[in-house]
């Protein structure tokens, strides 16, 4: 049994879907961002970074989405969520997840969480203003170079698909022009039809 600490609208959705895909025995605990629970002592004792996701396992607590996703793939090898026996193919999976984590997610965060990188209102407003352009550049590159189709790595659903789907939830909020990214939007539709994804989305309510 593992416990996923999650919050609605965050990238923790990726780990949630991967756990469901893996057939893991898990439970989800919701962290209430509206009350700042993620910065409270109780949650900081779980994850000193004050972020979600955090995955509490029998061995200890893991954070950072790409690390959690690779862990789920390796811990449940029978689920086939990553090419575990081919270092190069596995690196490709990780490279994709890393781009989502360190470029797309970061670009998006400048719209909502500018206080991470500035403390004056003008700078935070400047970041927020530019964020849709930075996010759009990321989606253009993903569309042009990163989706083999129908799944990210080709014929097999993997941890990349869970992560991509999670971040596509932000497309409307980031005012991305969907007509520029048909592969991405087709991927989102395909994911929405998967039973595992339906179960997760239903559980989120």
User: Is residue 40 part of the contact set for a copy of itself (CB under 8 A)?
Assistant: no
With beta carbons less than 8 A apart as the criterion, state whether 150 and 187 touch.
Answer: yes
Joined together, the tokens standing for residue 180 give 């520029």
Near a copy of itself by CB under 8 A: residue from 24, 33, 64, 151: 64
Say how far apart CA 179 and CA 185 lie, in whole Å: 9
Choices 17-25, 111-119, 154-162, 166-174 (CB under 8 A): range interacting with a copy of itself: 111-119
CB of 49 to a copy of itself, least distance (A): 7
User: Is residue 3 part of the contact set for a copy of itself (CB under 8 A)?
Assistant: no
Strands 26-30 and 54-56: unpaired
User: Is residue 130 part of the contact set for a copy of itself (CB under 8 A)?
Assistant: yes
User: Is residue 25 part of the contact set for a copy of itself (CB under 8 A)?
Assistant: no
Q: Which is nearer to a copy of itself, 92 or 188 (CB)?
A: 92
Q: Measure CA of the first residue to CA of the last residue in the chain; give whole Å.
A: 22
Residues 44, 94, 127, 130: is their CA dihedral positive or negative? negative
Say how far apart CA 164 and CA 152 lie, in whole Å: 8
Q: Which is nearer to a copy of itself, 101 or 197 (CB)?
A: 101
Q: What distance separates the 2 farthest-apart alpha carbons in the chain?
A: 51
Q: Which is nearer to a copy of itself, 46 or 197 (CB)?
A: 46
Say how far apart CA 118 and CA 138 lie, in whole Å: 22
Q: Which is nearer to a copy of itself, 58 or 172 (CB)?
A: 58
Near a copy of itself by CB under 8 A: residue from 126, 150, 156, 183: 126
Say how far apart CA 144 and CA 156 lie, in whole Å: 20
Near a copy of itself by CB under 8 A: residue from 24, 28, 118, 196: 118
Joined together, the tokens standing for residue 30 give 């919701």
Near a copy of itself by CB under 8 A: residue from 13, 19, 31, 68: 68
Strands 54-56 and 2-6: antiparallel
Chain positions contacting a copy of itself, by CB under 8 A: 48-49, 57, 59-60, 62-68, 70-71, 74-75, 87-88, 90-92, 94-95, 97-99, 101-103, 105-107, 110, 116-120, 122-123, 126-127, 129-131, 133-134, 141, 144-145
């Amino acid at each position: 049994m593992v416990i996923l600490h999650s919050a609605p609208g965050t990238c923790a959705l990726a780990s949630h879907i991967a756990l469901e895909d893996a057939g893991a025995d898990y439970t989800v605990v919701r962290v209430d961002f509206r009350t700042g629970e993620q910065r409270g002592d109780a949650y900081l004792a779980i994850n000193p970074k004050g972020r979600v996701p955090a995955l509490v396992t029998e061995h200890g607590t893991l954070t950072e989405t790409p690390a959690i996703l690779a862990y789920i793939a390796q811990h449940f090898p029978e689920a086939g969520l990553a090419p575990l026996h081919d270092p190069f193919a596995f690196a490709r999976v990780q490279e994709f997840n890393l781009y989502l984590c360190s470029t797309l997610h970061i670009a998006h965060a400048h719209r909502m969480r500018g206080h991470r990188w500035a403390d004056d209102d003008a700078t935070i407003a400047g970041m927020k203003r530019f964020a849709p352009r930075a996010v759009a550049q990321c989606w253009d590159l993903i569309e042009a170079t990163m989706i083999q189709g129908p799944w990210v790595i080709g014929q097999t659903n993997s941890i990349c698909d869970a992560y991509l789907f999670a971040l596509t939830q932000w497309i409307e909020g980031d005012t991305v022009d969907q007509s520029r990214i048909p592969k991405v939007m087709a991927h989102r539709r395909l994911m929405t039809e998967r039973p595992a994804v339906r179960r997760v989305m239903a559980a989120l309510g």
